[in-house]
């Protein structure tokens, strides 16, 4: 029987490099795929380094240029959301539309049985389908970014690092002689140099100054353009006050930046749209879940209610600085149920 063919999305980092090594060791016919996504990509590896890694592993490397698609599907979306006063998460969109959309389709057309990545999450095969689970290493779990994966994608996807801790990944990479073993993890969004959102946004989104107001509409100062601010922000407001003030809301209708105290940042519930379910089926009745309202936030206990194409997530304890445009992801234990895009907060 011929060996199964796996295309590994390789970035030049330790995670994807070790994923390729582990799959080859497991007996798969492995090839690397490098995606050229953005000319200004501050995390773009030296392709010669990536080629060297593939030489060490004795696997071929294919390069695919998806810059046009990335600009249209991710960059334009990112900028449009900011222009609407929202805070998008470009990584979830890139995963859904680029990596597990266009790339998955492309490698399947090229004859690969599977696509693999270095994401930290797990896939469980059951008699009636697949489940997406959190990673074994809770400090590196990336299941939040993968909530849009469905049954079609999961059947063709391998995540070799899901059961490993980061320290073990680095040790294995070093033992294999991979130069990426000691490289620092990138924490930035790949297309934003130095993670400077404001500088990037000003290149693409017209900025119109306006009023900074409190929750009663009193004018406190001037802002430089709503796209320069995010919910929960305290620094850079240019306000003088005897109490700490935070951004509560970006009012695009009136071009006003609404600020308030920290307790006014708390919300009891959120509504979400553009829902995605890993199983392909939405829950039929209200269920108890835990939910994350951003990648770095802890999971919070909540009740999930569905109404047509909208979800309402009612938290047991109020949550801080919930931003429309971010993803809210639903869990039960280690299982990722799905998620959606936050539309509004409910106090």
Q: What is the 3-state secondary structure (H, E, C) of 90-151?
A: HHHHHHHHHHHHHHHHHHHHCCCCEEECCCCCEEEEECCEEEEECCCCCCCCCHHHHCCCCH
Q: Determine the Cα–Cα distance for residues 334 and 242; give it in Å rounded to an integer.
A: 44
Can you name the residues that pair with 311 across neighbouring β-strands? 272, 306
Q: For residues 117 and 114, what is the distance between their CA atoms, to the nearest angstrom?
A: 10
Q: Looking up tokens 């509504």, which residue turns up?
A: 271
Query: If you ran DSSP here, which 8-state letter would residue 226 be given?
Result: G
| Residue 156 β-bridge partners | none
**Annotation marks residue 190 as catalytic:** yes
CB 170 within 8 A of CB 180: no
Instruction: Exactly one of 54, 79, 91, 190 is catalytic; name it.
Output: 190
State the number of CA atoms in the 13 A half-sphere of 198 facing the CB. Answer: 8
At 312 the three-state DSSP class reads strand
User: Is 289 within 8 Å of 304 (Cβ atoms)?
Assistant: yes
Q: Which of 54, 79, 91, 94 is catalytic?
A: 94
Alpha carbon 186 to its chain centroid, in Å, reads 14
Query: Which residues are marked as active site?
Result: 94, 190
């Amino acid at each position: 029987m011929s060996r199964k063919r796996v295309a590994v999305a390789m970035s030049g980092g330790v995670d994807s490099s070790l994923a390729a090594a582990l799959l080859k060791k497991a007996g798969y016919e492995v090839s690397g795929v490098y995606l050229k996504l953005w000319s200004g990509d501050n995390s773009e590896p030296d392709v010669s380094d990536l080629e060297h890694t593939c030489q060490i592993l004795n696997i071929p490397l294919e390069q695919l240029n998806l810059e046009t698609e990335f600009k249209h599907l991710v960059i334009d979306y990112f900028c449009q959301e900011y222009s609407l006063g929202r805070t998008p998460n470009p990584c979830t969109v890139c995963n859904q539309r680029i990596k597990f959309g266009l790339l998955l389709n492309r490698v399947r057309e090229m004859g690969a049985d599977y696509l693999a990545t270095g994401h930290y999450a797990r896939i469980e095969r059951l008699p009636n389908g697949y489940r997406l689970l959190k990673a074994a290493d809770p400090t590196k779990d990336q299941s939040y970014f993968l909530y849009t994966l469905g049954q079609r994608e999961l059947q063709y996807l391998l995540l070799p690092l899901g059961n490993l801790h980061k320290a073990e990944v680095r040790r294995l990479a070093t033992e294999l002689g991979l130069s990426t073993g000691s490289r620092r993890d990138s924490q930035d969004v790949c297309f934003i140099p130095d993670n400077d959102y404001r500088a990037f946004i000003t290149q693409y989104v017209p900025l119109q100054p306006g009023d900074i107001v409190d929750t009663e509409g009193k004018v406190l100062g001037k802002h430089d353009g709503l796209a320069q601010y995010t919910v929960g922000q305290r620094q850079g407001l240019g306000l003088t006050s005897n109490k700490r003030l935070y951004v509560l809301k970006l009012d695009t209708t009136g071009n006003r930046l609404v600020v308030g105290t920290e307790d006014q940042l708390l919300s009891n519930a959120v509504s979400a749209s553009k829902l995605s379910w890993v199983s392909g089926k939405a829950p039929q009745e209200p269920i108890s879940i835990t939910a994350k309202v951003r990648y770095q936030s802890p999971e919070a206990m909540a009740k999930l209610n569905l109404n047509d194409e909208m979800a309402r997530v009612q938290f047991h304890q109020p949550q801080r600085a919930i931003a429309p445009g971010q993803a809210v992801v639903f869990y039960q234990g280690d299982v990722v149920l799905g998620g959606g895009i936050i539309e509004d907060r409910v106090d």
